[in-house]
Amino acid sequence: MTVAGHTQLAQRISRDVGMEFHGHAGTESNGDRWIRLTPAAVPEGHGFDVKVQMTWRRLRLSVELQRFAGELVRAMGESKEAGRNTFRTILEESVARGATVQFGVNDNAVQFDDESLWGKGWKRIELRMSKRLPGFDGAATAEELGMIRRWTRRFVAALLAIAPLEAQETPSGEALEGFREGAAKVTRTVRYERDRRNRTAAIAIHGTACLACGLEFGSVYGEVADGFIEVHHTVPLAKVGEGYIVNPAKDLVPLCPNCHAVAHRRDPPFTVDEITELLRE
């Protein structure tokens, strides 16, 4: 991967997860190339790097704790239920798509969906994801960069679901004006739809193309619109209590502003399948 490759990956991941990452690149002694992504706003030494290794037909992702990451790791182990659910959901979706995930806490291998591993004084963690990619040979084509981006996004989103790092505002869910819903309902919907971690998780799982019409902004409008998409909350608000925990795989879907506006022409909103059907007619 070229210099442009790691800068481009860092920019795209920053955009996709709503947090800025710097990118560095290098080569292992065996010739495999790697890219390291570092959260830009975390004080030096107190966070983690995400290492992306590109080998023949395989992509490997891992987290590398920095020297003084103890505080952060301890806080990750004390994540609230919403964060744990999102972490587990993203990893489950990744496994369902063929990835291998290894997770370790305090040097013990653990199952990432084991409920008992939380709140137990985390000091060190290990998280690795490996995905076989047929046809992947590190040629740095747009297609390969797309595959690297999708898998890196999943890995980073899982970490960010439980890592209490400062977030930047992300532009999303702006097109809610004019929806015929009560003000309180809209406020709550917007909160779900704008929550950075929900949004990041939804994009990590579903991608950035509109789920109803397939529009991918980057491929239509070019680089300036790359990664732009809104996130819609599908669960009817009447069924959602205050303590409801969003499942980013089932409850959140990426929609373009047009399809999103159409979804809210009805309460409860039109489903993705219904909108797709409307487009077909």
Q: Which residues bind Zn ion (CB under 5 A)?
A: 210, 212-213, 215, 232, 256, 259
- Residue nearer to Zn ion on the CB measure, 52 or 212: 212
Q: Which two tokens stand for residue 191?
A: 């909160």
- Residue nearer to Zn ion on the CB measure, 151 or 270: 270
Counting beta carbons within 10 angstroms of the beta carbon of residue 176, is it exposed (0 to 12), middle (13 to 18) or buried (19 or more)?
Answer: middle
CB of 263 to Zn ion, least distance (A): 6
CB of 210 to Zn ion, least distance (A): 3
Helix axis angle, 196-206 relative to 183-194, nearest 10°?
Answer: 60
Return contacts of 267-271, CB within 8 angstroms, 24+ apart: 267/180, 267/181, 267/236, 268/236, 268/237, 268/238, 269/232, 269/234, 269/236, 271/234
CB of 255 to Zn ion, least distance (A): 6
- Residue nearer to Zn ion on the CB measure, 140 or 190: 190
CB of 277 to Zn ion, least distance (A): 13
- Residue nearer to Zn ion on the CB measure, 164 or 207: 207
- Residue nearer to Zn ion on the CB measure, 121 or 236: 236
CB of 208 to Zn ion, least distance (A): 12
**Residue 51 three-state SS:** strand
Beta-bridge partners for 152: none
Tokens 């999303």, residue? 172
